[in-house]
Structure 1
Amino acid sequence: MFGRSKPVVFDPYGSRASRRLIPNWLWLLLFGATIGAGALFYVQQKLMPPRLSAEESSQLRKDFDSARQESSRLTAELAQANHKLDEALAKHDRLSAELTASHRDLARQRDNVEGLLAALPPDPRGGIVEIRAARFKVGGDTLGYDVVFSRAGAQGPPFAGVLQLVVAGKTAGGTETTIALEPADVKVGQYEIAHGSMPMRDGFVPRQVTIRVLDRLGGKLFGMRVINMN
């Protein structure tokens, strides 16, 4: 009624031998590690740059530190240069604003002068160069002058000539005489205001001044006016 039983084999060393066998997964792990190590060695020796020695590594570190210091120095110089550039731009803007303001003031002054010239009486004698007004002041043995000239419809370059003052008056001894003072260069565009002073004889008392404008000393007369001194 019971089935056929199997025989039992007694092997006292079999189980011990089976425990001594290395499993396949361990072989695969050892084989993979060997292959990986060989591949790493090949890559390091053949494909990657050669490894540096201790001395080369130290020199490379020094070069890196030197380059970093140089970079810091250049960065500081760049910041300083940018600061100077900002200051120069600010100064340029300030000077530009001042120049613009000066141009406005100059234009306003020109308008004022032109308005004053328009209010001055015309030169009775006319002429190419008109003598619109004159003022004289005696200071010791010199005669100071302020003379206003104008040229109607002035075109082209300014008129360049000489201004000569011929003064009538009395000498220190009371003798009536006329003296011609040293000429002065003058240029007249649309208008010109000449200022200056000329020496006279000691003790001479001027009474009347004749203003002459010539193209050169002793040359052609372009304007003349007689002014009595008070």
Structure 2
Amino acid sequence: MFGRNKPVVFDPYGRRRSRWRMPSWMVWLLTGTIAGIGGVIYLQERHLPPRLSQADSAALRNAYDKAESERQRLQAELASTQQQLNAALAAKKTLDAELAASRSATQDLRADVATLVDALPPDPRDNGVEVRAGRFNASGNTLAYDVVLTRNRAGAKPMTGVVQFVVAGESAHGGPNTVSPKPIPVSIGTHEIVRGNVALPEGFKPRQTTVQVLDREAGRSLGMRVMLVK
């Protein structure tokens, strides 16, 4: 009765003021966002590999840089090796061509030698092995020789034997003497050229050489011929 009178608000429409409510689309948006973030966190923690720390990332980067540097080094070595291989192949091709030319020249030379041997005068003794020609030159205490041997009935397989020289001449004291150097092994196909030199005694003067072809040392005679020493 004696209190203060409160103002009376007049609302002609008689409506009450309602509270603000969040729209449903925003509720769904926030719910989806939270669910997505939670799903990502769940996958990272449960199924995906653990995330690297800064130190692990730096170590991984260093390892990658080293691997890349090694790859580049190996690639450079591979290129260098490829160049060396190409050079070796080119050199081999050149050597093959030179070898083929050398073989062709050797075959031609053998054919020429065979032709010259056929043109030599025959051995008058007509043995199984003929001494077709020979040259003996004395110089000091050395006797140089070149002897051409042929076979009348040469087979596919070469025949082995020895050549024995018996050198006749004058000794240092002026009397006659003979020298028989060590036998020389030979292998005779259709023809064979024996070339070399033998040592003579001091002061010995050779006059002639008997060429003996034997099947072995001190064995059966296959051919013989006497030739002068120049």
Q: Report the counterpart of residue 85 of structure 2 in structure 1.
A: 85
Q: Distance in 2 between matches of 1:24 and 1:200?
A: 130
Q: Distance in 2 between matches of 1:154 and 1:107?
A: 19
Contact 1:181 1:198 (C-alpha < 8 Å) held by counterparts:
no
Q: Report the counterpart of residue 103 of structure 2 in structure 1.
A: 103
Q: Give the aligned CA root-mean-square deviation in angstroms.
A: 2.6
Change (3 A) 1:42 1:145: same
CA shift digits 1:36-78 (9 cap, x unpaired): 2222222222222111222222222222222222222322332
CA shift digits 1:5-28 (9 cap, x unpaired): xxxx736875xx58x443333223
Alignment of 1:6-155 (within 5 A): 10=13, 17=18, 20-155=20-155
- Could you tell me the TM-score, scaled by structure 1's length? 0.80
**How many residues are aligned here?**
218
**SS in structure 2 at match of 1:155:** coil
Matched, 1:186 2:185: yes
* Identical-residue share of aligned pairs (%): 41
Contact 2:165 2:212 (C-alpha < 8 Å) held by counterparts:
yes
Contact 1:171 1:204 (C-alpha < 8 Å) held by counterparts:
yes
Contact 1:164 1:180 (C-alpha < 8 Å) held by counterparts:
no
Alignment of 1:193-212 (within 5 A): 193-212=193-212
Deviation at 1:203, TM superposition (A): 4.2
Q: Distance in 2 between matches of 1:11 and 1:153?
A: 149
Q: Report the counterpart of residue 9 of structure 2 in structure 1.
A: none
Q: Distance in 2 between matches of 1:119 and 1:133?
A: 11
Q: Report the counterpart of residue 221 of structure 2 in structure 1.
A: 221
Deviation at 1:178, TM superposition (A): 4.7
Tell me the amino acid that sits aligned with residue 181 of structure 1.
S
Change (3 A) 1:67 1:11: farther
Q: Distance in 2 between matches of 1:174 and 1:60?
A: 100
**SS in structure 2 at match of 1:218:** coil
Unaligned runs of 5+ in 1: 1-8
CA shift digits 1:82-115 (9 cap, x unpaired): 2332233233223222222221121111111111
Q: Report the counterpart of residue 4 of structure 1 in structure 2.
A: none
Q: Report the counterpart of residue 7 of structure 2 in structure 1.
A: none
